[in-house]
């Protein structure tokens, strides 16, 4: 049975409690706990193989954790444990994500790729959509207008009718982010958003992430290897290694933490 409540006195949007998952003899995530505050930009960092993406997959229920809770405060204000929820319901509750590799349909236009992100909110039935009945036509018009607004916000509306195939990688990253905004999210999870971007594109990404947080009044949780980006935009950061919690705090606190430094750089032999 799912635990639900209708209050959020803590100001949190997400709380991960004692999260663990094991693949054979490997503990990919080991008793991990942290929380993300509402409208906060929160970073999850760690060396390669630290379990960051696996933790994301457990939060979004792509993987079912062996143990722990993932408490989420939804768009409607309810508090729910996501563990065991189907993925499509997690999205409908207001938690959406991007992936390390851009997941777009190359043959479709940019705006049609963005519209895919809004399908979860369609009220018209498949029958109504197939026959282009009035409600379906009205919803499609509203969704297309919304998609154009999102693409305009991200500065790529001029490319909306071009196919995704052949577009610059930085544009494709923006399209994937635009798709998450179609769901009116309470929390966006970004999995290595700067991967494959050059320096100027990364700077533009940082500005976009801040603007998305401010305009859409949502929290953002990101995994990222670009430490300049993480330290520049995150309000707080959680560092993990081998699936285990190391430290959590402000960027300057994480930079100065000896355990974090050892996890990244190793321990010098005397």
Provide CATH code, domain 102-183.
3.40.50.300
pLDDT tens for residues 54-106? Answer: 999 999 999 999 999 999 999 888 999 999 999 888 988 999 998 777 788 89
Q: Which part of the chain has CATH 3.40.50.300?
A: 1-94+184-270, 102-183
Question: Are the C-beta atoms of residues 105 and 113 closer than 8 Å to each other?
Answer: yes
Choosing among 3.20.20.70, 3.90.220.20, 3.30.830.10, 3.40.50.300, the CATH entry for 1-94+184-270 is 3.40.50.300
**Cα–Cα distance for residue pair 30/20, rounded to 1 Å:** 5
Tens place of pLDDT per residue across the chain (270 aa): 344 444 444 699 999 999 999 998 899 999 999 999 999 999 999 988 889 999 999 999 999 999 999 999 998 889 999 999 998 889 889 999 987 777 888 999 999 999 987 766 656 666 666 666 777 778 888 889 999 999 999 999 999 999 999 899 889 999 999 999 988 899 999 999 998 888 998 999 999 999 999 999 999 999 988 889 999 999 999 999 999 999 999 999 999 999 998 887 664 444
Output b/e per residue, 128-148; b: 16+ Cβ within 10 A: bbeeeeeebeebbeebbebbe
pLDDT tens for residues 158-180? Answer: 999 999 998 998 899 999 999 99
């Amino acid at each position: 049975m799912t635990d639900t409540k209708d209050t959020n006195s803590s100001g949190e949007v997400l709380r991960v409690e004692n999260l663990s998952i094991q693949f054979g003899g490997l503990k990919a995530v080991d008793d991990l706990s942290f929380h993300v505050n509402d409208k906060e930009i929160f970073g999850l960092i760690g060396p390669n193989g630290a379990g960051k993406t696996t933790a994301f997959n457990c939060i979004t229920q792509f993987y079912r954790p062996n143990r722990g809770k993932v408490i989420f405060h939804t768009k409607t204000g309810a508090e729910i444990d996501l563990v065991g929820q189907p993925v499509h319901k997690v999205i409908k509750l207001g938690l959406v994500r991007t992936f390390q590799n851009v997941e777009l349909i190359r043959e479709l236009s940019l705006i049609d790729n963005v519209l895919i992100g809004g399908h979860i909110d369609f009220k018209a039935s498949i029958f109504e959509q197939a026959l282009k009945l009035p409600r379906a036509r009205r919803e499609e018009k509203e969704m297309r207008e919304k998609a154009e607004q999102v693409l305009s916000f991200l500065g790529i509306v001029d490319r909306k009718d071009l196919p995704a195939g052949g577009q610059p990688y930085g544009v494709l990253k923006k399209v994937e982010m635009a798709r998450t905004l179609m769901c009116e999210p309470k929390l966006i999870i970004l999995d290595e958003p700067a991967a494959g971007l050059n320096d100027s594109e990364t700077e533009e990404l940082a500005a976009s992430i801040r603007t998305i947080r401010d305009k859409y009044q949502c929290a953002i949780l990101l995994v990222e290897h670009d430490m300049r980006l993480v330290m520049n935009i995150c309000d707080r950061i959680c560092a993990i290694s081998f699936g285990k919690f190391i430290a959590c705090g402000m960027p300057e606190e994480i930079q100065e933490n000896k355990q974090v430094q050892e996890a990244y750089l190793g321990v010098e032999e005397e």
